[in-house]
Structure 1
Amino acid sequence: MSCNSQKIRFLRQQIPSFECVPGCHDCCGPVTTSTEEMSRLPRKTATEQEAAMDELNCVHLGPNGCTVYEERPLICRLFGTTPTLPCPNGRR
């Protein structure tokens, strides 16, 4: 396991979890993330990426929510846990 992978694992463990509102995907917009985290996710085609951006969605948002939930990037995990990334539904 790389040093970066160990750091990411450590950081993931520090982020508190909470119950989301069922069906809400407000945190699933287009985000930037590290190369290390992106390498864990399935590659999407340019067409899939463009379609997601047209809707201002994440390319990994599927009909039933996040398709990469267990490997979602740190920025996605932080949504709703910090004052600068508040949940619009008041969850935290």
Structure 2
Amino acid sequence: MKTKFEKEIARMRRIEGQARGIAKMMEEDRYCIDILQQFAAMEAALRATRMEVLKTHSSHCLEEAIELGSKADQRTKIAELIALLEKQAR
């Protein structure tokens, strides 16, 4: 079954591999700076993937609510997005 998140799923699989790699580095007692650099790379990949999902939400879910004209649905979708952004800003 094809999903609108194919690329993001592939990215998450790579991020999963990065997390396993970091755990292995820690098990091997590797240099802390090397481990921290890998954390930064993984966090950047997560941020980029999160932004792609946000773009998908905007271009599918929000757009659909606007096109269908349901004011209640539009308010709900926008309120959800605002709540999420507020939570992430903390």
Task: Report the TM-score, using the length of structure 1 for normalisation.
Answer: 0.24
Task: Report the TM-score, using the length of structure 2 for normalisation.
Answer: 0.24
Higher RCO (CA < 8 A, seq sep 6+): 1
Q: Which has the higher helix share?
A: 2
Q: Which has the higher strand share?
A: 1
